[in-house]
Amino acid sequence: MVRSENMTTRNIRAAVLRKKGGPLKIERLSMEGPQDTEMLVRTVASGVCHTDISMVQHWETDDGPLVLGHEGAGIVELIGKKVKTIRPGDHVVLSYQSCGICRRCKNGRPTKCRRFYELNFGFHRLDGSNALKPSGVRGHFFGQSSFSSHILATERNMVKVSKKLPLKILAPLGCGIQTGAGTVMNTLQVQKGESIAIFGTGAVGLAAIMAARIVRAHPIIGVDINPSRLKLALEMGATHVINSRRADVASGINKISAGGVDYVLEITGTPRMLQLAVKVLKKRGTAAFFTGDGVPDFVPKGKKAVAVIEGDSVPQLFIPKLIKLYQSGKFPFDRLLKFYDFKDINRAMKDSRNGKTIKPVLCIGNKKG
């Protein structure tokens, strides 16, 4: 078995953000590792998530160069001395990082990890080190930095998957897709016959719509400004759609649901939709908001607002569940994907930003997997 005896340094290729707003440039960097609890993964593909795009737009140049990417998938090449459950050659999908030590992690709630923010947005390992230090660049975004030919990850943020399925299809399960489906199935635990509206029918919203169909919610109302996405929402399980540019959302939802919905997922992050999400809820209804977008200042008595991280998913449990649903034809998330060469990463981000592509996936390694 190939275990890494000592930390070594290798050359990798990674897309580096050096300037606010981009573009990302593919550069050669040195990477140290793996540490005892890490695996070195040869990247096959990585999804591009909304969070990567907003980092490019908001990161300040003075804060130093970064490698982004947090929906990686690949093949394990080397394992550290303390790795127990993963072997070289395993196919893996990567997800968010958690400490594994705090009480919330120990209780099986890693999205509530006390060190969640630091481990996913801090650009360093659990021990504070940074494998890309020799190049003066920071990595470990979500414990990954998957816009790279190689990734260092741990058993905490790694899910072993079947070698029969293409890794380039499975890659985006690690963040956006699990967030949408997990919000419906884990956070809100939507039941048969309950009503739900989804504001924003991008990758997260469409995954939520598919999950709502699986749990037999009714009605399932998709709201967006993009007619082609609304058409797709209907194909993926929405029973009704509303174009919020052309129609009044509140009265539309009221009419369809006879007085309000049990749940709203507010994914657009726009102030108008934030307020509307609470308004269209029925009494005792719950609106889910996503990290970074904030929650409304005022929530009327009897209604609830929750801030959701990663759909409260435990990746090692939830990603295999989603893969099974995909294989049975109930969760056709592959229809949301569009594949790009790694060198076209800036075009992939642009297409996602302007709504042309729902979920870009970068093909990074060789074609195997």
Q: Does 49 bind Zn ion (CB under 5 A)?
A: yes
Q: Does 113 bind Zn ion (CB under 5 A)?
A: yes
Q: How far is the CB of 58 from Zn ion (least distance, A)?
A: 15
218 phi/psi in degrees, rounded to 5 = -160, 135
Q: Which stretch binds Zn ion (CB under 5 A): 27-35, 96-104, 266-274, 295-303?
A: 96-104
Helix or strand holding residue 337 (H, E) = strand 337-341
Q: How far is the CB of 95 from Zn ion (least distance, A)?
A: 9
Task: Give which of 71, 65, 76 is closest to 134, Cα–Cα.
Answer: 65
Q: How far is the CB of 96 from Zn ion (least distance, A)?
A: 8
Nearer to Zn ion, 116 or 199 (CB): 116
Q: Are 197 and 280 in contact (CB under 8 A)?
A: yes
Q: Which stretch binds Zn ion (CB under 5 A): 22-30, 90-98, 331-339, 353-361?
A: 90-98
Q: Are 359 and 47 in contact (CB under 8 A)?
A: yes
Q: Does 56 bind Zn ion (CB under 5 A)?
A: no
Q: Are 29 and 62 in contact (CB under 8 A)?
A: no
Q: Does 337 bind Zn ion (CB under 5 A)?
A: no
Nearer to Zn ion, 4 or 357 (CB): 357
Q: Does 99 bind Zn ion (CB under 5 A)?
A: yes
Q: Does 102 bind Zn ion (CB under 5 A)?
A: yes
Q: Does 277 bind Zn ion (CB under 5 A)?
A: no
Chain-centroid distance of CA 185 in Å reads 16
Strand ranges, E, within 91-162: 91-94, 150-154, 158-161
Radius of gyration of the chain (CA): 20
CA distance 265 to 308: 10
Q: How far is the CB of 126 from Zn ion (least distance, A)?
A: 10
Residues in touch with Zn ion (CB under 5 A): 49, 51, 98-99, 102, 105, 113, 175
